[in-house]
Structure formats: structure tokens, C-alpha cells
Structure 1
Amino acid sequence: MLRKKKKNKKNTHADREKGGQLRTKSIDLLNLTPDTDVNELLSDIRAAEPLITSSCAEQVKVLICKLQEKVGQKDDRRFYLFRALQAHNLPLTNVAFNKSGSSFITGSYDRTCKLWDTASGEELHTLEGHRNIVYAIAFNNPYGDKVATGSFDKTCKLWSAETGKCFYTFRGHTAEIVCLAFSPQSILVATGSMDTTAKLWDVESGKEVSTLAGHFAEIISLSFNTMGDHLVMGSLDHTAILWDISSGMLFTFSQVTEEKSVAFSSLIVTASLDKTCKVWDADSGQCLATLLGHNDEVLDVCFNYAGQLIATASADGTSRVFSAETFQCLCQLEGHKGEISKVCFNPQGSCALTASVDKTARVWYANTGACLQALEGHSDEIFSCAFNYEGDTIITGSKDNTCRIWH
């Protein structure tokens, strides 16, 4: 059976029974446009994928056509406040959706992580056990059945998203854990710490796989590539390091001042306190471009799901969207009245979402920079925001101890 993934990475999945287990094959259609010749694309897919037989080719074509229609639609959705949740007794640190958007998690200074049902706003589980601030949180998307929490108590915990049970506590760091990520296959959890190291942990056994040492200051961001075999880390020592999970360190990328954020697609982009971002070739380690234009520190950077666009967020109160192919600035997102700490794209890549100290989040057209909507109502700065997989729901997390769900 073939099924369409409606948005996000523009892909289709083929499932088959093999050895009694359901196998899934992902076919990326990242360059699909309204002008793509569907018959030619289908021919190319069939040539590369023996699984696509003549008997199911027509179904694949229908799915591609539906995806193509979605890609061509103008996204001018407006969001309305669905629910404001008094999530914690102390300020939040982060918010994150599972892939479907059916649930989300919040981390807090109150030492807990909470799991919420998006549709009802009901609290499903409180994940208790950390002895200090829960700073970094993540679902093991696309599966969404596990949650990882990283804390200032120097530990990371792995939880069941379904029952709230703690599977493992990962111990070994000697300072606060400030960032973490699941590998795309949910085999590993990577944790980054102020002890200058990152560690890899086996999700199945709970054991430490390796320690990645090479930085000389705190690690504040990390990101896996889509294959899960490489990890890039950004540090306050002015560098980012790319690691091959199996063989070790590959490249060191140097900036003028501290790294603030890193993002990994087919390229690597690093955001720095020197007001710039740099784009790096993940195969050669060469710097391909320096993204200029901000007049204050760049605090966050991200790719869209297709890896074709780069968005930056700055302390100067603006964001920018760049082409990941030409490295040219496509538009500026101007309207916030304070620094922007977080930026992300919707799954279609048509809109960007920003969170600011001015107590608002804003939705922008990614191609023009026009502000589609300001999300107002928080009483303190918003430091975290996210779209769900469908792009029709937003969550915002604020220092006012609340998170808001927007439909």
C-alpha cells in the first residue's frame, strides 16, 4: 500500500510485509513544484524503486498529483487562540509537538515536563524525577512514543509518552544538559552539556554509546542529519564540530565569536553572536557562504523541511529568509519590538513563525516577508514556538508560565 504524507517533507511512503514485519520506504519529493511533469517524475521513481510496480503506479501518480496541488496552494490561514494553559508553577523552558500534533510537551523551571493532549488541552502526564530545571525536551519523532528530557541536574531521562513511565536515566555528564536530540531512526539520543562534551545514548538499552569530546567550552546546540549517521554541535568556544557517529570527528567549523545555534540539512548552517550565519558543505567542511544583514547577534537559525530555505532570528528584532541554493536574502521579517529568540518554518515552507521578547509571536509569508498575523495575549516574553506536522496548529511557550494553543 502506498500512502501520502500530506505536507512536511513532500514524500510518499511504501509499506510492505517482510519477515512478518511492516517495512516502510520513504521517497523524498523535495523538489516537487506545481510545474513538475508528473509522468516523468513517476517514471524516475519507478526506475529507482522496484517496489513501485505497474499495478500500483497509478495510485502513486494520484498521490503525487495531490501533493502537487498542496504545494501550489497559497497558505493564508489565520490562527485563533484555542486554549491558554497554566502549564507550570514556574516559567517554561521549551515546548515541542509530536509529529502528528496530537500531543505536545512542556519543560519548566519547576523540574517537570508535562505531556498534553492538543485537541482538549488536557494534561496527560507529569514527568517527575529531575532535581533541577528541565531545560531540553524532545519527542522521538516521527514515532512519538518516547520523550527525552535534559536537566540542569546533569542527567537526561527517557520516558514513555503513552504511560509517563521513566525507562532510563542517563548519567555521566558533569554539568548541566542544555540541548538534546533523537536520531531520526530513534536509535540514539544525543545530549549536549556545559561540561564541553556531548554523549550518545542507546535508546533500547539505556547505555552510553560514546562521549564526543573536542570542544573547549559549553555545547549549546546540536543536530543530526536526516540519515542519523552524522551529528553537528555548536559551542561557545567559537566553533562547531561535525562528527561521524561511527568513526569520529570529521570537521571543525570556526566562527569569529560564539556559536548560538546550528542546523543540519544537506548543508550545515551556524548562527553566531558576530551577527552572521555561515553555510558549510557537510562533505568537505568548506565554508560556502556568510549570511549578512543583521546588526546584532543571531540567536537562532533553521532550514525548512526541504532544505531549500534558511531562516535566521536576531537580537536586532528581525528575521531573514535566505535561499539555501544561492545564499541570497529573499526577504526581511520586520515588525517585532524586541529580540527574536526562535524561528521555524511551517511544514510547507510557505510561512515562518517567530517568537519574541515583545510578548508576541508572528506568522510571516516566507516568500515576501509580509506579516500574516501577530499572535498576542502572553504577558511575558515568548521564547519557544512550533508548528504541528499539518501546519494548522501552533503552540507558544512564555515566561508567563503559560503555553497557548492556536488553531
Structure 2
Amino acid sequence: MKLKRFLLRYYPPGIILEYIRSNGEQETKSIDLLNLSNDTDVDQLVEEIVMEEPIISESRKPQLAALIRKLIEKIESKKEQQFELFKTLKAHMLPLTNCAFNKNGDKFITGSYDRTCKVWDTFTGEEIVSLEGHKNVVYCIAFNNPFGDRVVTGSFDKTAKIWDANSGKCLQTLVGHNYEIVCTSFDPHSLIVATGSMDKTARLWDVESGKQIARLDGHDGEIVSLHFNSDGDKLLTGSFDKTAMIWDVRSGECIHMLDEHTGEISSTQFEFTGDYCATGSIDKTCKIWDIKTGKCIETLRGHKDEVQDICFNSTGTRLVTVSADATGRVYNVHTGECIAQLLGHKGEISKVQFNPSGNKIITASADNTARIFSETGECLQILEGHTDEIFSCSFNYEGDIIITGSKDNTCKIWKEVNLPVQKK
């Protein structure tokens, strides 16, 4: 094997080895560096990596050290940030249902009760294309990240559609569900789409052909949340039946049923390494589960009302939960300890997300505001201007642009203050 080059992965931090096998085939291997900080002994880390990866020669050590220092610089940057409103988009004729960035953040999508999904240019705020064809509410939407050339939409018309993100052409219509589709996602390889429905099933679809690969039966209630793991070989579903299930994507079989909650599941997520997943519930708790055994390893308590949303940071070391009690809580994933509370909202919080580097958290609330918090719980900024409940908020990949979606029928783009602003 011969090392061709190093590639950087900023979030979560790591280095990709691109190498040539003896038969001429090109392959890649990831080295995860999830614990990088200013305190990291770079030279010692380089020695450890070279010892474990014989493909990296002694002569490559200086280059490897320089890349690690670049990663640390990136992680430690942007701790002091302020955002300003760049543009308000009156995006749809009827209320929005969701919004989401592509991987690099130069485009985002919005779904709406007006039966359409629109693709937008993040830097100009201009509409690129409108995805039209559904016969009812477009409720859930997703890009095929990291590629960003496809969009999937799930609708109350019982179908999902796969679209070309650039031309707006409908490539596939996924037909099979008996009731509304409320959650959807591409796998990390953009080969499979998963859909979850009020018909109590999740389904897996081939992206290229649009054919159903598997029907995932087992839940006794509506499926309201689903996520692929980082490798794309497992799917996590959460249901109103108070359980979550981990599925083998290749076989369509249920690997584990996670059934310790006493209330409906509201949100689910895998963490990056694939060792753990988490479930939030209206029983006011969040639970962390061991993927291999299906056992609950931590029950995170403290909220006084239902948990509405949960999110791991990019390295899987922190988990944030938000609740109808108008607060958020940040937990150490490995100890289960609550290390910060997010206070200040005057209404229930429905959405939360870490920024890519994990040092900031954004929350969306029924009090018409979004708030940016530090990972230690300090409120850094209040994003004001919406005139109704904010139900969606998201950072782009660089962490320097935010979008918020509201029941006031608008989507707002917020940019880091020192960014050059492109006016029309």
C-alpha cells in the first residue's frame, strides 16, 4: 500500500488517509481525532499515529503535525461570534414545516403546507428552484449529504419524492405508505432513503430505482423520528408506542427494541462513533443506549415537562436536550452528568442543534426567538425578529451562518457579523 495524500475532516476532527493498494485500487481510511484541544501534545500524537499506521512514513511526520495543528486552530476558532440578520425570506404561501442545509451550507431547503419544497442560495437568499408535485403538505425534507445533489421530501399525501437539487426535476416518487409520511433521511452513501409514517411502518427505498427495499414492521404506533448511523448500516426509529428500534439496514431486521420509556418518543439520534444512541420522550427524560447490547446505560432526568428534541455534538461527548419547560440541559455523555442548563426562553423549546465545532448551541422557541448559548450554558445572543413560533434552526457546516424557520411564514438567514455581506 502506498499513501497518496492526507485529507482534513474538520467536523468531527480527523484525518483521512487516501492510499493506493498493490492492485492499483484507491481507498481511504479515517483517523478520528475526537479529543483534540489546545492542550494536545501534537508531537506525541503524531508518534502514536505513525506507530499505529505503518502506511505513514517518517518523512510524513512534519506534514501530519501541521495538519493536526490546523485542525486544532479550526476547533478553537469562532468562540467569539455575533450574528446579524442578513435576509428575511417570505418563502411560501402557507406556513413552513422544516428547513435544512446541505453539507457545505451554500444551499438550504424549506418545506411548507403549500405543498412545495424550495431550494435557496444561502449567500444571496435567492430561490434556486421550487420542487412542485406533492398533493398535500410537504412535512419532512432532507439533502443527501455530503453530496447535496438530491433532495427527498415526505408528504401528507402518503408519498415521498426524490428530486434533482439543481434542476428541480422529480426523479422518483416513492409509493407504498398508507398514511402521512412525517420523517425521512438519506443514508450517508446516498444509496438508500428511509421514510417513517403514521402507518406505524418505516420503509427503505433504493435511490436510483425508487423501488422499496424493505418494510420495517414492529412498532405499534406512529413513527415520528428516524436516523441512520455514520456507517449507514443501522437505522434508528422512534415511535408514539413509547419504544425505539435499531434496524439492520441490509436485512431489514430489528436488532434491538429500546423499550424503557413511559411516554411517547419525540426524538432520536445516533452519536458519531456509532457506540451510542439517544432517545427523548414526553416522559420528561432522555435515555442513552448501548448500540451493541440495546441496554439503557443512562437515564437523563431534570426536565419538568416533555423532552422535545435532542442533539449530540459532532464528537459524541456531549448531548443537549430541550423541553416544553422552556429550558435546555447539556450532559456529559460518558458520565450522564448535567454540566449546563440553558435558561432564558419564555416558551417551550422545540428544536436544538450544536454548531459543528461543538462550542455553541442554538435553540428555537415558541417565544418567537432563537438563542445562541455557549456549551457551558451562557446565553451569547438572542435572535429576534420573527413574529410567531420558531420551529426550526440550524448552523451551516462552517458555523458562520444560521437559518431559522417560523410559523410566521418566513425563514431568516443570519450571518456572522464580520462576513462580507452580498447585497442584491
TM-score normalized by structure 2?
A: 0.92
Aligned with 1:9 (options 8, 12, 21): 12
Instruction: Sort the Cα spacing of 1:83 and 1:20 in 2 relative to 1 into closer, same or farther, 3 A.
Output: farther
Matched, 1:229 2:233: yes
Q: Percent identity?
A: 56
Cα distance in 1 between the residues matched to 2:43 and 2:405: 45
Cα distance in 2 between the residues matched to 1:26 and 1:182: 21
Aligned with 2:266 (options 260, 267, 278): 260
Residue type of the alignment partner of 1:59: Q
Matched, 1:331 2:346: no
Q: CA deviation at 1:198?
A: 0.3
Cα distance in 1 between the residues matched to 2:65 and 2:94: 51
Matched, 1:113 2:117: yes
SS at match of 2:141: strand
Matched, 1:348 2:357: yes
Q: CA deviation at 1:28?
A: 1.8
Q: CA deviation at 1:39?
A: 2.3
Which residue pairs with 1:405 in the alignment? Answer: 413
Cα distance in 2 between the residues matched to 1:71 and 1:29: 11
Instruction: Spell out, residue by residue over 1:337-377, the C-alpha distance to the aligned partner (whole angstroms, 9 max, x if none).
Output: 1000000000010010000011000000012x110000000
Instruction: Sort the Cα spacing of 1:278 and 1:403 in 2 relative to 1 into closer, same or farther, 3 A.
Output: same
The equivalences for 1:5-404 within 5 A come to 5=9, 7-16=10-19, 23-73=27-77, 75-247=79-251, 248-254=253-259, 255-265=261-271, 266-367=275-376, 369-404=377-412
Residue type of the alignment partner of 1:9: P
Q: CA deviation at 1:50?
A: 4.8
Instruction: Spell out, residue by residue over 1:258-306, the C-alpha distance to the aligned partner (whole angstroms, 9 max, x if none).
Output: 0000111131111011111111111111111111110001010110110
Cα distance in 1 between the residues matched to 2:369 and 2:54: 50
Aligned Cα RMSD in Å? 1.6
Cα distance in 2 between the residues matched to 1:51 and 1:167: 42
Q: Please, which runs of 5 or more residues in structure 2 have no aligned partner? A: 416-424
SS at match of 2:230: coil
Instruction: Sort the Cα spacing of 1:60 and 1:205 in 2 relative to 1 into closer, same or farther, 3 A.
Output: farther
Q: CA deviation at 1:136?
A: 0.6
Instruction: Sort the Cα spacing of 1:140 and 1:55 in 2 relative to 1 into closer, same or farther, 3 A.
Output: farther
Q: CA deviation at 1:20?
A: 8.8
Q: Which runs of 4+ in 1 moved over 4 A?
A: 16-24
SS at match of 1:44: helix
Cα distance in 2 between the residues matched to 1:398 and 1:100: 23
Q: CA deviation at 1:23?
A: 4.8
Q: Please, which runs of 5 or more residues in structure 1 have no aligned partner? A: none
Residues 8, 390 of structure 1: 8 Å contact kept? no
Size of the aligned set, in residue pairs, is 405
Cα distance in 1 between the residues matched to 2:127 and 2:57: 46
Cα distance in 2 between the residues matched to 1:214 and 1:82: 46
Q: CA deviation at 1:73?
A: 4.0
Cα distance in 2 between the residues matched to 1:386 and 1:160: 22
Which one is further off, 179-188 or 229-238?
Answer: 179-188
Instruction: Sort the Cα spacing of 1:60 and 1:154 in 2 relative to 1 into closer, same or farther, 3 A.
Output: same
Cα distance in 1 between the residues matched to 2:157 and 2:48: 51
